[in-house]
Structure 1
Amino acid sequence: MIKTQTLQDTEVNHPPTDGISEIQFSPQADLLAASSWDNNVRIYEIQTNGSSVAKAMYSHTGPALSVAWSKDGTKLASGGADKVGMIFDITTGQSSQVAQHEAPIKVVRWVEQPGTSPILATGSWDKTVKYWDLRQQTPISTVALPERLYAMDSVFPLLVVGTADRHVHVYNLNNPTVPIKAASSPLKWQTRTVSCFPTGNGYAIGSIEGRVAIQYADDRDAAKNFSFKCHREGGTTNTREPTTVYSVNSINWHPVHHTFTTAGADGSFAFWDKDSRQKLKTFPKVGSPISSTCFNRTGTIFAYAVSYDWNKGHEGALPQSQNKIMLHSVNDNDVKPKKR
């Protein structure tokens, strides 16, 4: 039976049994992948009526921390606390190890240059990014970082890395081992998430302190850079009430309109338009933190993972903590850019 909540959103059947680290839709079909702290990576097929069917599952030997689909939708990559990167082949149903680090792999992303074989980038707490050609066992190259990698994303020609101590490195994939920019985050607190513009000319970065910065890669566009507050409670101008700030856990771009969403530890998500610098819509809180989000390829489904994100430390990890993936049917009017 499909369960619903206040948003009338649909719950995915057979969700992960522990914290959900990342969810990603295939760019070719309504297949949804989820990595989890129960060591498993699951793949669900989302039906046209909104129901879901568990299609496949494979395991790491430690918590699975990240997933990423290849552009052709035939392969799913994952990385985990077991320091291993794996590939699941959709056509054969087989999984295999393709990458190795000295510490947990925090993020995996495909970096696909037009006309070349897809390369897998793996970012780790061992302070490196490694690029892997799946046809060989050793990395093509290894990039040293100033600190542990916390966030990474790529849309050709950009790859953007956020590390501990607020370092942000931006790479042009035509020369993927030397950063075109190496600077401190424009936000004052720890980086939580990075998401490249669909146009590949900039990125959004979110911090643990309820802020997002919009950054263009080219310095000539610096006048378009800005930051804003979100995922906060209280602290209105007329009162002395303290402000409670929450981590921004996930930022995603709509594949058609190129507006974006933020979701956070406060259990809410909102749609935004970066070009007009305005909020499009805020949705009701879901009662627990939202750890990861994604759109399907047509932008008609917005998936969000409701899962404890450790924002309150060990004390907040209650036995009754929920782990579920919800599917929100997107109203086009909620994500269309508004006139300035």
Structure 2
Amino acid sequence: MASAVAAAAGQELSNPPSDGITNLRFSNHSDNLLVSSWDKSVRLYEASANVLRGEFMHAGPVLDCCFHDDSSGFSVAADNTVRRSNKEDILGRHDAPVRCVEYSYAAGQLITGSWDKTLKCWDPRGTSGQGRTLVGTYPQPERVYSLSLVGNRLVVATAGRHVNIYDLRNMSQPEQKRESSLKYQTRCVRCYPNGTGYALSSVEGRVSMEFFDLSEAIQAKKYAFKCHRKSEAGRDIVYPVNAIAYHPIYGTFATGGCDGYVNVWDGNNKKRLYQYTKYPTSIAALSFSRDGRLLAVASSYTFEEGPISNESDAIFVRSVNDIEVKPKPKVYPNPPA
């Protein structure tokens, strides 16, 4: 990669995964970064120092990961297992590949979503073995594609454009059962940091902004917008929106698409704030650091056009400036004299 492009992309981490990156997440306590990959590994980096601190293996491609504390986490894989990354012991299993994992600090539970059409909650404080750690199994209408947590609220997005919203304190039934506002397959769901709703992205270059409150006044505020698309030779080319990440300070959010671009949005004012220089290939995952100073970007081809990319998988960590992520104040015209 040319040096100018590299500088614009951010610092490229050494020792990246050797196959497709499925997710990356910053710790809530430091600049440590957890990365999952199709090469069957979970990697722990100290991102600001560009150092690989540890590597843990599954028997199959790792599809998601999340932190538990600053140096350990959980991972889920196509080998149907749920693991603790620091001990490499099997916490539990599903009957099909496990696509998503989230740890709830509010409930002290681990939540996993699988292509076996179930959601499972685990108590990670128990000893190894499914019988002692499984809290509950909750059937879903279809394969689970994405999960997101805010406080005690859990949003589950599945195949078939279903969205289930749960209260972790009472998982017996979803609080709400919804259908995606978008017409095509869901790629990612992320809750607003303020707990009022969630953003949902699709394979067809769109993001919808949704609200939990079902009152008519609040539901009137929801909207969807087009992104990660271009016009070429008189036709629209649209790209899947693979990733959404919220800035922890300003509540703005970044999206990453198969077009190789990362855009930053002000959802309240319905504006794009910034677009970063194009990355070498598709954006597979995004994560802001706990203080919002860093943005980790996984540039990893996602096979949307078949096996044609020669670009290697890479993780970039870029410094974030306020001009890129801070909402711009509204300017009101001066009143007449």
Same fold (TM > 0.5):
yes
Letter in 1 for 2:278: K
- Distance in 1 of aligned mates of 2:304 and 2:171: 33
SS of 2:327 mapped into structure 1: coil
Contact 1:157 1:200 in 2 (8 A): no
What is the aligned partner in structure 1 of residue 275 from structure 2? 282
Which digits, 9 at most, give the CA deviation of each residue in 1:203-258, with x for residues without a partner?
A: 100000000001111112212211100000117xxxx7100000000000001111
Which digits, 9 at most, give the CA deviation of each residue in 1:138-165, with x for residues without a partner?
A: 3111110011111111111211111111
What is the aligned partner in structure 2 of residue 230 from structure 1? 227
Q: Is 1:328 equivalent to 2:318 in the alignment?
A: yes
Contact 2:47 2:317 in 1 (8 A): no
Give the length in aligned residue pairs: 321
Match of 2:297 among 288, 297, 304: 304
Which digits, 9 at most, give the CA deviation of each residue in 1:40-69, with x for residues without a partner?
A: 00011123xxx4001000000000010111
Please give the residue correspondences for 1:1-340 in structure 2 after superposition, counting only pairs within 5 Å: 5=6, 7-47=8-48, 51-70=49-68, 72-89=69-86, 94-113=87-106, 118-136=108-126, 137-138=130-131, 139-220=134-215, 221-234=218-231, 241-313=234-306, 315-316=307-308, 318=309, 320-340=310-330
SS of 1:224 mapped into structure 2: coil
Contact 1:150 1:164 in 2 (8 A): yes
Contact 2:207 2:224 in 1 (8 A): yes
Contact 2:42 2:85 in 1 (8 A): no
Letter in 2 for 1:83: N
SS of 1:103 mapped into structure 2: coil
Contact 2:283 2:301 in 1 (8 A): yes
Contact 1:276 1:339 in 2 (8 A): no
Contact 1:291 1:308 in 2 (8 A): yes
SS of 1:55 mapped into structure 2: strand
Which digits, 9 at most, give the CA deviation of each residue in 1:48-102, with x for residues without a partner?
A: xxx40010000000000101112x435311100010011124xxxx322112100
State the shift of 1:6 in Å.
Answer: 5.3
State the shift of 1:32 in Å.
Answer: 0.6
Letter in 1 for 2:37: S
Contact 2:9 2:316 in 1 (8 A): no
State the shift of 1:176 in Å.
Answer: 2.4
> Percent sequence identity over matched residues?
38
- Distance in 1 of aligned mates of 2:168 and 2:222: 22
Structure 1 residue ranges, 4+ long, deviating more than 2 angstroms after superposition: 72-75, 135-138
Contact 2:23 2:65 in 1 (8 A): yes
State the shift of 1:284 in Å.
Answer: 1.9
State the shift of 1:306 in Å.
Answer: 0.5
State the shift of 1:8 in Å.
Answer: 4.9
Letter in 1 for 2:236: T
Q: Taking structure 1 as reference, are residues 125 and 8 closer, same or farther at Cα in structure 2, changes over 3 Å only?
A: closer
Contact 1:280 1:335 in 2 (8 A): yes
SS of 1:7 mapped into structure 2: helix
User: Gaps (5+ residues) in structure 1?
Assistant: none
SS of 1:203 mapped into structure 2: strand
SS of 1:61 mapped into structure 2: coil
Contact 2:280 2:311 in 1 (8 A): no
Does 169-178 or 301-310 show the bigger shift?
169-178
State the shift of 1:328 in Å.
Answer: 1.2
Contact 1:142 1:177 in 2 (8 A): no
- Distance in 1 of aligned mates of 2:31 and 2:280: 27
Letter in 2 for 1:339: P
Letter in 2 for 1:123: G
Q: What TM-score comes out, normalization by structure 2 length?
A: 0.91
Contact 1:167 1:185 in 2 (8 A): yes
- Distance in 2 of aligned mates of 1:135 and 1:287: 41
Letter in 2 for 1:62: G
Contact 1:129 1:143 in 2 (8 A): yes
